[in-house]
Amino acid sequence: MSPHLRHVCHTVGTLEVPDEVSLIYTISGCPLRCPGCHSADLRDPDLGSSLDPATFASALDRYRGLASCVCFLGGEWQPASLIELLQLAHARGFSTCLYTGHDAVDDAIAVHLDYLKLGPFIAARGGLDRPGTNQRFLDLRRGVDLTHRFQRHGSRALDLAA
């Protein structure tokens, strides 16, 4: 296996991290097996291309001034590679975020994060936008839970559908 994380794509979005424009990396090789996983194709660890530090740094330089945060969808299963990229992002002035299916991450990773989404996907409880979700989105810098920021639209959608 490559010593570096592999990614299938990167996009820019405003929904994943409140009040940030995020450069979002979808990482392949998720080892979890959440029933009802919405991204089962991402379980293949050989999918996509290597996200080596030089490639990543080049992308950060292209998006400097356009994006304010880098958000990794997965990658905690290769902590050394992930930490190296988080450090690069911080050094270039980007905030950092990790979406993980675990309920906690190692402190060695967390100290390099500004935002953290926790929790496996449980179909009956839904994602962050559902009032009954098991997942949590945390602002680690301020020590606050921002999960409610994802739920206004979800609640409204439920209300309208009722």
Binding site for ligand SF4 (CB under 6 A): 30, 32-34, 37-39, 42, 101, 120-121
Residue nearest to ligand SF4 as judged by C-beta position: 101
Give the residue with the Cβ less far from ligand SF4, 63 or 99.
99
Other CB atoms within a 10 A radius of the CB of residue 32 amount to 13
How far apart are the C-alpha atoms of 102 and 42, rounded to whole Å?
Answer: 16
The number of residues in the chain equals: 162
Rounded Cα distance, 14 and 21, in Å: 5
53-62's contacts with Cβ under 8 Å and 24+ in sequence apart are: 53/4, 53/84, 53/85, 53/88, 56/85, 56/88, 56/89, 57/88, 57/92, 59/10, 59/23, 60/23, 60/88, 60/89, 60/92, 60/94, 61/92
CB of 92 to ligand SF4, least distance (A): 27
Of the pair 32, 104, the CB lying nearest ligand SF4 is at 32
Q: How far is the CB of 100 from ligand SF4 (least distance, A)?
A: 7
> Between 68 and 77, whose beta carbon lies closer to ligand SF4?
77
CB of 102 to ligand SF4, least distance (A): 8
Smaller CB distance to ligand SF4: residue 91 or 104? 104
The least CB distance from residue 156 to ligand SF4, in Å, is 24
